[in-house]
Amino acid sequence: MKTCLSLGTFRWCGWLAALAVAAPIAQAAAPSSRARVEKSSFGRTPDGVEIELYTLTNARGAIAKVITYGATLTELWVPDRSGNLGDVILGFDRLDGYLGEHPYFGSTVGRVANRIAKGRFTLDGRSYQLACNDGPNHLHGGPQGFHRKVWKAEPAARRGAASVRLVYTSPDGEEGYPGNLTATVTYTLTDRNELRIDYEATTDKATPINLTNHSYFNLAGEGDILAHQMMIAADRFTPVDDTLIPTGKLQPVQGTPMDFTRPMAIGSRIDQLTNNPRGYDHNYVLNSGGGRLARALRVSDPHSGRVMEVRTTEPGIQFYSGNFLDGTIRGKYGRVYPKHAAFCVEADHFPDSANQPAFPPTILRPGKTYRQTTIHRFSVQK
């Protein structure tokens, strides 16, 4: 399995690829190598479209893998406190897994991430009906959302960073949304062990837009995330009805199990929640207010020592504790994913913003450019 062993200083990369199949752990690369991008094939869709896999490797040996199906992040290898690389996101080894039903593992989600009540909204006096795929509501762009599209990719490597830019044009009327919308997502892995995701979009008719990434993180690489310590820079959250649509209120977290203003184990108060299936699945109102890159959260795993800090331009974070995972999906390395096997922190605008005039707006108009940036920085603590 020494596929890229003939490339001089790149020898180590081939060795890791071989190791990664057998066991999801590897030693970090020597710091002398440079950031680079490699392209390979991830298989073909049933109608014969080739799906490309881009492997971004930074000078410290961290690795991010992205496929053109759903502009999906499939692997993310970062060091623990002993320098061992581990893959900290859930996903599948092969394209089949992503083509089948799955809860948005690593997906780019759009045109509008999160829920729109009853799939309906009114814009400039006209009503739109979107595809509903979550009980009565529209979720994550609909059944054929951006996570199901084949994106066009362009790799780029420069000093200190490896990146891949993916582009998708969503036609007018797709999943019920107005306007031809061109979206780009750029994943950049920097030598500071940051995974930076930049989004842009333009449209030819006014449309709601809300893009995010739906990676499922487990900083230990296995087990559950209940002992991870979470801190979210949010004094308020948006309470929801029983179909997870916001009531419109912004409620203080203080004195409730929703309070992560100081680091708390994710599992420490989860039993006090009353939703079904029980767990966090809530939008936090970031104190930054959005609009500029600002600190949103910090999460750490006491066992591996891995730390992830998130900064974003977005006003909200959907913190989801993997409540719908139930052990029926077999993912990478033959692992099954039980409840709370991972958490998602989806940086975006608030759910149902299209119907909530008091929430930060999500309407993109022709001539304007939508932008969002979210940075996940990985480090370690003792």
Residue 35 to residue 58: CA distance in whole angstroms:
4
String of b and e for 230-246 (b: at least 16 CB within 10 Å)?
A: bbbbbbbbbebeeebbb
Tokens of 7: 């490339």
- Give the nearest distance from C-beta 243 to ligand GLA in angstroms: 10
**CA–centroid distance for 90 within its chain:** 11
- When binding is defined by CB under 6 A, the residue of 11, 324, 326, 368 that contacts ligand GLA is 324
Residue 272 to residue 252: CA distance in whole angstroms:
17
Instruction: Rank residues 249 and 368 by Cβ distance to ligand GLA and give the closer one.
Output: 249
- When binding is defined by CB under 6 A, the residue of 104, 199, 216, 343 that contacts ligand GLA is 104
Q: Is the peptide bond before 94 cis (omega within 30 degrees of 0)?
A: no
- Give the nearest distance from C-beta 368 to ligand GLA in angstroms: 27
Alpha helix (H) ranges present in 162-319? none
**Of 114, 295, 126, nearest in space to 212 by CA:** 114
Whether 214 is catalytic: yes
Residue 57 to residue 55: CA distance in whole angstroms:
6
- Choosing from 314, 340, 346, 349, which is the catalytic residue? 346
The count of residues interacting with ligand GLA (CB under 6 A) is 10
Instruction: Rank residues 105 and 199 by Cβ distance to ligand GLA and give the closer one.
Output: 105
Instruction: Rank residues 87 and 348 by Cβ distance to ligand GLA and give the closer one.
Output: 348
Residue range at the interface with ligand GLA (CB under 6 A); choices 14-22, 29-37, 123-131, 318-326: 318-326
Residue range at the interface with ligand GLA (CB under 6 A); choices 45-53, 215-223, 258-266, 316-324: 316-324
- Give the nearest distance from C-beta 174 to ligand GLA in angstroms: 20
Q: Between the CA of residue 32 and those of 17, 96, 254, what are the distances in Å?
A: 19, 36, 47
Q: Between the CA of residue 115 and those of 133, 189, 343, 346, 355, what are the distances in Å?
A: 10, 30, 18, 13, 11
Q: Whose structure tokens read 């399995």?
A: 1
Does position 281 bind ligand GLA by CB under 6 A? yes
Instruction: Rank residues 83 and 136 by Cβ distance to ligand GLA and give the closer one.
Output: 136
- Give the nearest distance from C-beta 322 to ligand GLA in angstroms: 8
Q: Whose structure tokens read 């993997």?
A: 322
Tokens of 57: 């490797």
What is the phi/psi pair of residue 348, to 5°? Answer: -170, -170
User: Binders of ligand GLA among 15-74, rule CB under 6 A?
Assistant: none
Instruction: Rank residues 113 and 185 by Cβ distance to ligand GLA and give the closer one.
Output: 113
Instruction: Rank residues 166 and 325 by Cβ distance to ligand GLA and give the closer one.
Output: 325
* In contact, 16 and 26? CB cutoff 8 Å: yes
- When binding is defined by CB under 6 A, the residue of 15, 168, 320, 337 that contacts ligand GLA is 320
Task: Say how many Å lie between the first and final Cα of the chain, rounded.
Answer: 35
Instruction: Rank residues 133 and 169 by Cβ distance to ligand GLA and give the closer one.
Output: 133
Instruction: Rank residues 14 and 360 by Cβ distance to ligand GLA and give the closer one.
Output: 360
Residue range at the interface with ligand GLA (CB under 6 A); choices 86-94, 179-187, 233-241, 317-325: 317-325
Whether 346 is catalytic: yes
- Give the nearest distance from C-beta 345 to ligand GLA in angstroms: 9
* Helix and strand element counts for the chain (H, E): 2, 28
Tokens of 345: 């922190």
- When binding is defined by CB under 6 A, the residue of 103, 257, 263, 338 that contacts ligand GLA is 103
Q: Which residues contact 130 (CB under 8 A, 6 or more apart)?
A: 116, 119, 120, 121, 138, 142, 175, 176, 177
Give me the sign of the Cα torsion angle 283, 255, 279, 133: negative
- Choosing from 138, 214, 349, 376, which is the catalytic residue? 214
Sketch the per residue contact string, 173 through 212, with ligand GLA: x for CB under 6 A, - otherwise: ----------------------------------------
Does position 344 bind ligand GLA by CB under 6 A? yes
- DSSP H or E run through 139: strand 138-139
**CA–centroid distance for 223 within its chain:** 20
Does position 314 bind ligand GLA by CB under 6 A? no
User: Binders of ligand GLA among 220-279, rule CB under 6 A?
Assistant: 244
Catalytic positions are 214, 346
Interacting residues with ligand GLA (CB under 6 A): 103-104, 139, 244, 281, 318, 320, 324, 344, 346
